[in-house]
């Protein structure tokens, strides 16, 4: 065993011993939160109506609150003074835009037609999911996999801008123009620019401003080292608490819909699983081939594979109705995405050991320990 490998294994064993109960059994808690949400949505009459009674834009208020609690600690960890280096990395910027706005939507379009040629409503719903690039939970998955926080913040912000500008145009292209060119049936759909803008402002804008102010004012008062050693450990665990709360509420809202159509859920789930696995793997390998290093390659992969299911569900319901097949396809999205991306966190950490040189890659370890431990050379970062 080589010296770097021995140090890596020793560091992983030491970090594993320090993991909290929540961190160590994170996949178990996430699956339990999903199951609890589905159970509550199924057995408690009127619960979905109560949870959905108050909305922010077109999204349930409890989900909005959960996402804000989830994202704020992650964005408070970002070293905003260092984001200029990310923007200057043209390879990362261009590759992310191509994968997110060219490859991923086109791949979802192909999967939707390949797996659901006889179910046009579900097919349309999947295409909408493919167009909604992730701006929320991707920060959690990236942080757990020890990705580059600064790069994640920048890429998510870019995706947000493109989402407002390009979502409607891409929806028109993939639902009407491209099918017509290929001699396939077309679908008419109108997308509310306000729904898209509200999603961006709520799920990214508010926690981004709060995180930036916390970091800036905290460093100004305490200094960077004290801020990262005293403040971040206190607020860090709230990201996971917010994640678990959001999952429970989300699945409680949609529990009856999901459990009443198990066969259809399975039909929708298969192309989604293929999508997450392929887009993540391709993005990670492309990042490695470009020499981005593990943290940025991982960030590239998660920002490409994740989807903004809150927006996809809201658009599908607003356009086609709450009981539509398109809405069901949007609802199934997080049912598959949450456990799939948790599994991909482990895949990423495995790839770090097997495909990336641990002693040469730039570092960005989170304060909250990842489900699998970080390499020992990552201790310089919070």
| pLDDT surpassing 60 at residue 368 | no
pLDDT of 286 reads 96
Give the number of other Cβ atoms within 10 Å of residue 277's Cβ. 15
Q: What is the CATH number of domain 3-378?
A: 1.20.1530.20
Q: Hey, is 56 helix, strand or coil? A: strand
Q: Hey, is 55 helix, strand or coil? A: strand
pLDDT in tens, 112-135: 999 999 889 999 999 999 998 887
What does the alpha-carbon distance between residue 26 and residue 244 come to, in Å, rounded to a whole number? 10
Query: At CA 75, angle to CA 231 and CA 364, rounded to 5?
Result: 80
Residue 193: which pLDDT band, with cuts at 50, 70 and 90? low
pLDDT of 378 reads 39
pLDDT in tens, 246-255: 888 878 877 7
Q: Are 303 and 134 in contact (CB under 8 A)?
A: yes
| pLDDT surpassing 50 at residue 379 | no
Q: 3-state SS string over 300-340?
A: HHHHHHCECHHHHHHHHHHHHCCCCHHHHHHHHHHHHHHHH
Give Cα 88 distance to the centre of its chain.
24
Give Cα 17 distance to the centre of its chain.
28
Burial class (CB in 10 A: 0-12, 13-18, 19+), 267: middle
pLDDT of 7 reads 41
Q: Are 338 and 356 in contact (CB under 8 A)?
A: no
pTM as predicted? 0.77
Minimum mean pLDDT among 206-210, 238-242, 273-277, 316-320: which range? 316-320
């Amino acid at each position: 065993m080589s010296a770097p490998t021995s140090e890596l294994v020793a560091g992983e064993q030491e970090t594993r011993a320090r993991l909290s109960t929540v961190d160590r059994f994170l996949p178990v808690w996430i699956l339990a939160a999903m199951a609890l949400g589905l159970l509550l949505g199924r057995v408690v009459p009127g619960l979905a109506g109560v949870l959905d009674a108050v909305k922010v834009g077109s999204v349930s208020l409890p989900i909005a609150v959960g996402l804000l609690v989830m994202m704020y600690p992650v964005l408070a960890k970002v070293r905003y003074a260092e984001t200029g280096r990310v923007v200057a990395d043209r390879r990362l910027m261009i590759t992310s835009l191509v994968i997110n706005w060219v490859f991923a939507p086109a791949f979802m379009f192909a999967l939707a037609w390949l797996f659901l040629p006889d179910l046009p409503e579900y097919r349309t719903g999947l295409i909408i999911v493919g167009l909604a690039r992730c701006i929320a939970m991707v920060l959690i998955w990236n942080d757990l996999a020890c990705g580059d926080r600064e790069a994640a913040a920048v890429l998510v912000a870019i995706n947000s801008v493109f989402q407002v500008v390009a979502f409607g145009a891409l929806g028109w292209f993939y639902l009407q123009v491209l099918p017509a060119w290929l001699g396939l049936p077309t679908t008419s759909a109108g997308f509310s620019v306000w729904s898209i803008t509200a999603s961006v402002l709520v799920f990214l804008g508010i926690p981004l401003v709060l995180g930036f102010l916390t970091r800036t004012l905290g460093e100004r008062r305490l200094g960077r080292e004290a801020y990262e050693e005293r403040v971040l450990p206190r607020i860090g665990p709230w990201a996971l608490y917010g994640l678990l709360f959001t999952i429970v509420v989300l699945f409680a809202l949609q529990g009856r819909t999901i459990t009443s159509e198990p066969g259809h859920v399975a039909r929708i789930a298969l192309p989604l699983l293929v999508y997450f696995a392929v887009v993540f793997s391709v993005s990670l390998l492309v990042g490695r081939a470009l020499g981005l290093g593990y943290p940025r390659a991982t960030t590239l992969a998660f920002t490409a594979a994740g989807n903004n299911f809150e927006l996809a569900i809201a658009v599908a319901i607003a356009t086609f109705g709450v009981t539509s097949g398109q809405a069901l396809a949007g609802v199934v999205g997080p049912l598959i995405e949450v456990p799939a991306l948790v599994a991909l966190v482990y895949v990423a950490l495995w790839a770090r050991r097997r495909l990336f040189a641990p002693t040469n890659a730039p570092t960005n370890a989170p304060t909250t320990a990842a489900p699998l431990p970080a390499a020992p050379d990552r201790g310089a970062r919070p």
